[in-house]
Amino acid sequence: IATFLGRKLQPRPQNEVEETLKRIQGQKGVQGIIIVNAEGIPIKTTLDNSSTVQYAGLIHQLVMKARSTVRDIDPQNDLTFLRVRSKKNEIMIAPDKDYFLIVIQNPSD
Amino acid sequence: MSTFFSQTNMLLMSVWSCFFGQDEEDGTEMGEGDEWMQGKTLIKPLDQLDLTEAELKEEFTRILTANNPHAPQNIVRYSFKERSYKPISSVDQLAVHFVLEGNLLHQDSDEARRQRAKQGLPEGGEDAGDVEEGGGEERADSVESKVGKKEQKITNQFNFSERASQTLNNPLRERGCQTEPPPRANFSATANQWEIYDVYLEVLQKQEKNKEKAKAVPKKDDDKGRELKTFLLFPPQSDDITKVAKVAKIIERMVNQNTFDDIAQDFKYFEDASDEYREQEGTLLPLWKFQYDKAKRLSVTALCWNESYKDLFAVGLGSYDFTKQGRGMLVFYSLKNSTFPEYIYPTTSGILCLDIHKHLPYLVAVGFYDGCVAVYNLKEETLQPIYKSTAKSGKHTDPVWQVKWQKDDMDNNHNFFSVSSDGRVVSWTLVKNELVFTDIIKLSLAGAVSEGPEGVQLPIMGKTSCGTSFDFHKQIDYLFLVGTEEGKIHKCSKAYSSQFLETYNAHNMAVDAVKWNHFHTKVFISCSSDWTVKIWDHTIKTPMFTFDLNASVGDVAWSPYSSTVFAAVTTDGKVHTFDLSINKYEAICQQPVVAKKKTKLTHIEFNPVYPIIIVGDDRGYVTSLKLSPNLRKKPKEKKGQELPKGPEVEIAKMEKLLSLLREPENSNA
């Protein structure tokens, strides 16, 4: 209790992201997380290098295409997330203006 | 022949004889001239025509003509008119023997004049010097025509001299320079509709920013104020990873959705089919369970759904135990992510109640165990409340049991009410930077009389009763109910600060919750630790319905979709759901919802939109449950009538029930 009271009230964003990512990684079935920047270069990953590069490159194109599709239909709309469900696992992609996050999960684990 | 010969000989002889003199006659002896004379004799060509003397005397005329003997005389041309070849009548007879191109011009011709003009010679021509006098006249003309021109030097073959020279040609040198090419980069983009839209949006935003900057300068003082509505800019983030916050959140929810896929599907689509076989009873299907590991030892003391974001709810954590008071927490969960709260606010004292503003979903009012009230702004980055009452500013001296937001007052300030065990109902107004409090009413023990030792009845003055819950009327703004620790419920008005409009002797123990019905304006419900739940009509002093639940009732709530459905939670871990239109005496669902039997359920809330309820217990867990169809029954439509909708139906339903109860009372009375 004493430590809790004495805890510094930090501004929220800094720790939160790291914690969120840790939680995601800890969820059951999650195989890996990749954070890719706008140019398609992975900046943070929990997978090995070759897989990361492969995922980043391929998914980058897919996201661009999907986003272009959504926005062409209605420019005020934007892509929120993309799920690619396959036999073995599911790839979830959440794009942002500058980054996008890829999570590979096997939901039936 | 001999005659001829002799004749001619004679002629000749006569000639010569006169020439040389006549030496002899018929000179057969001629000395030296004989041979010469013999040479002079004519020789007749052999093929010469022998002509007679007459023929010899014939005259032949010879004429000179201008006809060219070489010109053809028989040129024929095809005539299309007569469709035959016809000889040309006239033939060109000119024969050119010699051609020499000359370069003399007549002095008066155009070309000559032009040349003179070029050379600048005076008009009238230049002759040799001896024609000066004649030329003088002409020169006079030319002088008139050319005024101011230099007199040209006369060039003739004696005075004319030509000189030529050649300048030195400088050697050519090539020089060149080259600038550095501008830096180039490859750029490629597609001009899509949305790219164009984005650019327009950016420009618009820039314009707005500029406008704001222009306005912001004079408005610096007014920074705080109704600040709650203005946005605070995020501090510039140097760390790349913080920008991923939003997407990380989305991903977390997605992952959770996958993990708890079956629950999500149940929440959306599952309707208990077995309800058809159960006549009246319904069930509660457990959905997500929300827990936060740092809140394990705390109990859920307050629950509140957010009106604007229907999947967000607030949980207040603290402790009901008098001896175990410590810290508290304010935690917000979303149904989309059951593993981790959306917002966490640790507090120094346990929270006992909270309320989210109806229209401003980011304003949360919290009441603490230590008597303070605070207001949190979810939009802000800090974990501190934006307002907190202090000892100076009128905080309660006892735990605050209930807070509720009110409509904005006349100055458009937000305000909320709080009730506490110190017997005060206080109104707090958010004015600029502070909380201004106003005592609305003091709960006094009206008419409380105690027997003195001598049997004299002494009125107890100045003793306040402890308020434990309150609720404001949905339509009538000034009307509210306060439940007290003594078990009484007072009906009060905001206008009267010292008197109650009505008092109901509701329970034998403290009134834990009192709630107005969402539809029927006269009905309210109350629950207490004396194991009972009672339903009242506020015009009648006795309860309409009383239910005994065999355990201390922690909380009761009306359902937002029906005027006759309500649910109550008890300390034995059960949720009791009632539908008065189906069964007036018993619960249609009594279900334990917690695993361990010792956990006590403390609070219950219905979601305003979805058919789920959340139940908080004293171990810090919040369980969400889905109501089965039987619990959500709407009044049956009669054949031929269209299905009535809207609150009027609900009111009518309730009214019908009440009228059934009232009649026997009226008949009794």
Tell me if ipTM is over 0.95. no
Which residue's entry shows tokens 């509140």? B304
Q: How far is A98 from chain B (nearest CA, A)?
A: 8
Q: Choose, out of B254, B297, B345, the residue to mutate when testing the contact with A (most A CBs < 10 Å).
A: B254
Mean pLDDT of B396-421: 83
Contacts of A28 in chain B (CB under 8 A): 259
For chains A and B, CB pairs below 8 A equal 113
Q: Choose, out of A17, A31, A34, the residue to mutate when testing the contact with B (most B CBs < 10 Å).
A: A17
Q: How far is B315 from chain A (nearest CA, A)?
A: 19
CB contact under 8 A, A16 and B254: no
Closest residue in chain B to residue A77, using alpha carbons only: B194
CB contact under 8 A, B258 and A107: yes
CB contact under 8 A, B244 and A23: no
Look at residue B203 and tell me whether its pLDDT is greater than 90.
yes
Confidence of residue B209 (pLDDT cuts 50, 70, 90): very high
Look at residue A17 and tell me whether its pLDDT is greater than 70.
yes
Contacts of B235 in chain A (CB under 8 A): 11
pLDDT digits (tens, 9 = 90+) for A24-75: 888 888 899 998 888 888 888 999 999 999 999 999 889 989 988 998 888 8
Mean pLDDT of B22-37: 49
pLDDT at position A1 = 28
Dist. CA B589–CA B465, nearest whole Å:
35
E-strand ranges in B325-431 read 328-334, 343-347, 351-356, 363-368, 373-377, 387-388, 400-405, 415-420, 424-431
The helix (H) or strand (E) run that includes residue B87 is strand B84-87
Contacts of B250 in chain A (CB under 8 A): 80-81, 94, 101
State the pTM of this model.
0.63
Look at residue B384 and tell me whether its pLDDT is greater than 70.
yes
* Structure token pair of residue A87: 């036999």
HSE, side-chain direction, 13 A CA sphere, residue B229: 9
> Which segments of B235-336 does DSSP mark as H helices, in order?
245-259, 261-269
Dist. CA B307–CA B538, nearest whole Å:
27
Dist. CA B461–CA B622, nearest whole Å:
43
Confidence of residue B295 (pLDDT cuts 50, 70, 90): confident
* Structure token pair of residue B585: 């005496």
CB contact under 8 A, A11 and B346: no
Dist. CA B67–CA B78, nearest whole Å:
25
HSE, side-chain direction, 13 A CA sphere, residue B235: 9
Contacts of A41 in chain B (CB under 8 A): none
pLDDT at position A66 = 92
Contacts of A90 in chain B (CB under 8 A): 258
Does residue B111 come out as left (phi exceeding 0), alpha (psi in the -120 to 50 range) or beta? alpha
The helix (H) or strand (E) run that includes residue B79 is strand B76-79
Q: Which residues contact B420 (CB under 8 A, 6 or more apart)?
A: B367, B371, B396, B397, B398, B399, B400, B401, B426, B466, B467
Highest average pLDDT, of A75-84, B240-249, B518-527, comes from A75-84
> B186 exposed, middle or buried (CB, 10 Å; 0-12, 13-18, 19+)?
exposed
Mean pLDDT of B487-498: 81
Q: Which residues contact B625 (CB under 8 A, 6 or more apart)?
A: B284, B285, B286, B287, B575, B593, B612, B613, B614, B615
Look at residue B136 and tell me whether its pLDDT is greater than 80.
no
Look at residue A2 and tell me whether its pLDDT is greater than 60.
no
Closest residue in chain A to residue B326, using alpha carbons only: A1
pLDDT at position B650 = 67
CB contact under 8 A, A101 and B251: yes
CB contact under 8 A, A27 and B259: yes
Say which range, A51-60, B78-87, B293-302, has the weakest mean pLDDT: B293-302
Dist. CA B567–CA B590, nearest whole Å:
10
Confidence of residue A3 (pLDDT cuts 50, 70, 90): very low
Confidence of residue B233 (pLDDT cuts 50, 70, 90): very low
Say which range, A7-16, B69-78, B341-350, B414-423, has the weakest mean pLDDT: A7-16
Look at residue B276 and tell me whether its pLDDT is greater than 80.
no
Confidence of residue A106 (pLDDT cuts 50, 70, 90): confident
Q: How far is A48 from chain B (nearest CA, A)?
A: 19
The helix (H) or strand (E) run that includes residue A20 is helix A12-26
pLDDT at position A62 = 92
Say which range, B137-151, B420-434, B525-539, has the weakest mean pLDDT: B137-151
Q: What is the 3-state secondary structure (H, E, C) of B500-550?
A: CCEEEECCCCCEEEEEECCCCCCEEEEEECCCEEEEEECCCCCEEEEEECC
CB contact under 8 A, A101 and B194: no
Which residue's entry shows tokens 């149940």? B266
Dist. CA B489–CA A25, nearest whole Å:
52
Q: Which residues contact B343 (CB under 8 A, 6 or more apart)?
A: B330, B331, B332, B378
Q: Which of B614, B658, B652 is nearest to B284 (CA)?
A: B614
Cβ distance B313 to B346 under 8 Å? no
Cβ distance A5 to B348 under 8 Å? yes
Mean pLDDT of B283-312: 85
Dist. CA B369–CA B130, nearest whole Å:
145
Q: Which of B333, B364, B323, B326 is nearest to B347 (CA)?
A: B326
Q: What is the 3-state secondary structure (H, E, C) of A38-105?
A: CCCCEEEECCCHHHHHHHHHHHHHHHHHHHHHHHHHCCCCCCCCEEEECCCCEEEEEECCCEEEEEEE
> B540 exposed, middle or buried (CB, 10 Å; 0-12, 13-18, 19+)?
middle
Closest residue in chain A to residue B251, using alpha carbons only: A94
Contacts of A21 in chain B (CB under 8 A): 248
- pLDDT above 90 covers a percentage of chain B that reads 3
pLDDT digits (tens, 9 = 90+) for B625-669: 888 887 777 655 444 444 444 566 666 777 777 777 665 544 443
Mean pLDDT of B288-309: 85
Contacts of B340 in chain A (CB under 8 A): 20, 23
Cβ distance B349 to A10 under 8 Å? no
Dist. CA B154–CA B141, nearest whole Å:
18
Cβ distance A94 to A63 under 8 Å? no
CB contact under 8 A, B381 and A71: no
- Name which of B242, B251, B346 is nearest A103 (Cβ-Cβ): B251
Mean pLDDT of B295-308: 85
B 205-234 residues with CB below 8 A of A?
Answer: 234
Mean pLDDT of B170-187: 90
Interface of A with B (CB under 8 A): 1, 4-5, 7, 9, 11-14, 16-18, 20-21, 23-24, 27-30, 33, 35, 37, 43-44, 68, 71-72, 75-76, 80-81, 83, 90, 92, 94-96, 98-101, 103, 105, 107
**Mean pLDDT score across all residues of chain B:** 76
* Structure token pair of residue B193: 């509709």
- B69 or B604, which is more confident? B604
Phi, psi angles (nearest 5°) of residue B375: -125, 130
CB contact under 8 A, B254 and A83: yes
Q: How far is CA B638 from CA A33, B504, B631, B641, B644, in A?
A: 57, 39, 20, 5, 10
Q: How far is B192 from chain A (nearest CA, A)?
A: 7
pLDDT at position B69 = 78
Q: How far is A27 from chain B (nearest CA, A)?
A: 8
Dist. CA A91–CA A97, nearest whole Å:
19
Q: What is the DSSP letter of B182?
A: P
Mean pLDDT of B326-352: 86
pLDDT at position B257 = 80
Cβ distance B59 to B66 under 8 Å? no
Dist. CA B166–CA B120, nearest whole Å:
26
Whole-angstrom Cα Rg for chain B: 69
Confidence of residue B205 (pLDDT cuts 50, 70, 90): very high
**DSSP secondary structure string, B419-454?**
EETTSEEEEEEEETTEEEEEEEEE-B-TT-EEE-TT
Cβ distance B241 to A13 under 8 Å? no
pLDDT digits (tens, 9 = 90+) for B619-630: 888 888 888 887
Q: Which residues contact B482 (CB under 8 A, 6 or more apart)?
A: B419, B425, B441, B443, B467, B469, B470, B489, B490, B492, B514
Look at residue B5 and tell me whether its pLDDT is greater than 60.
no
Phi, psi angles (nearest 5°) of residue B316: -100, 130
Closest residue in chain B to residue A105, using alpha carbons only: B255
Q: How far is B201 from chain A (nearest CA, A)?
A: 10
Phi, psi angles (nearest 5°) of residue B555: -160, 155
HSE, side-chain direction, 13 A CA sphere, residue B548: 2
- Name which of B192, B250, B383 is nearest A68 (Cβ-Cβ): B192
Whole-angstrom Cα Rg for chain A: 17
Q: With the C-alpha atoms ordered B5, B7, B8, B13, is the resulting torsion angle positive or negative?
A: positive
Confidence of residue B290 (pLDDT cuts 50, 70, 90): confident
- B451 or B84, which is more confident? B84
Phi, psi angles (nearest 5°) of residue B577: -115, 135
The helix (H) or strand (E) run that includes residue B84 is strand B84-87
Phi, psi angles (nearest 5°) of residue A53: -65, -40
B 616-655 residues with CB below 8 A of A?
Answer: none
Cβ distance B245 to A24 under 8 Å? no
CB contact under 8 A, B244 and A90: no
Q: How far is A13 from chain B (nearest CA, A)?
A: 6
CB contact under 8 A, A13 and B249: no
Q: Choose, out of B196, B258, B382, the residue to mutate when testing the contact with A (most A CBs < 10 Å).
A: B258
Give SS3 for B280.
Answer: coil
Q: How far is B262 from chain A (nearest CA, A)?
A: 11
Which residue's entry shows tokens 């346990």? B350
Which residue's entry shows tokens 């014939």? B58
Dist. CA B623–CA B108, nearest whole Å:
128
